[in-house]
Structure 1
Amino acid sequence: MPITRFAKPEDLEQIMALYRFLVPNDFEADPQRLGEVWQDILDHQDRYRYIVTEEDGVILSTCNIAIVPNLTRAARPYAVIENVITHPDARRKGFGRATLMKAIEFAKEMGCYKVMLLSGSHRTEAHGFYESLGFSGTRKKGFVMEML
Structure 2
Amino acid sequence: MIREAERTDKDQIYELYKMLVPNSKKMNVQEEQIDKLRMDPYNFLLVFEEEGEILGTLTLNICLQALHGTRPYGAIENVIVHEKHRNKKIGQKLLHYVEEYCKSINCHRIMLLSNSKRQSAHQFFAREGYDRSVSKGFKKYL
TM-score normalised to the size of structure 1?
A: 0.87
* Structure 1 residue 84 corresponds to structure 2 residue 79: yes
* Structure 1 residue 146 corresponds to structure 2 residue 141: yes
102, 109, 115: which is aligned to 1:120? Answer: 115
* Structure 1 residue 35 corresponds to structure 2 residue 34: no
TM-fit CA distance, 1:85: 0.4
Summarize deviations over 1:11-34 as a string: whole Å, max 9, x none: 2222122111111122333x7xx2
Q: Percent identity?
A: 35
Summarize deviations over 1:76-99 as a string: whole Å, max 9, x none: 101110100011111111111111
Q: How does 1:19-34 map to 2 (within 5 A)?
A: 19-26=17-24, 27-29=26-28, 34=30
72, 79, 82: which is aligned to 2:67? Answer: 72
3, 24, 27: which is aligned to 1:5? Answer: 3
CA contact (8 A) 2:8 2:31 kept: no
CA RMSD across the alignment: 1.5
| Cα distance in 1, alignment partners of residues 113 and 64 from structure 2 | 19
CA contact (8 A) 2:55 2:81 kept: yes
| Cα distance in 1, alignment partners of residues 3 and 36 from structure 2 | 19
TM-fit CA distance, 1:115: 0.5
TM-score normalised to the size of structure 2?
A: 0.90
Secondary structure of the 2:115 match is coil
| Cα distance in 2, alignment partners of residues 104 and 59 from structure 1 | 20
| Cα distance in 1, alignment partners of residues 116 and 34 from structure 2 | 29
| Cα distance in 2, alignment partners of residues 97 and 119 from structure 1 | 15
11, 14, 26: which is aligned to 2:12? Answer: 14
TM-fit CA distance, 1:66: 0.4
What count of residue pairs does the alignment treat as equivalent?
141
Could you say which residue in structure 1 is the equivalent of 2:128?
133
CA contact (8 A) 1:51 1:102 kept: no
Could you say which residue in structure 2 is the equivalent of 1:98?
93
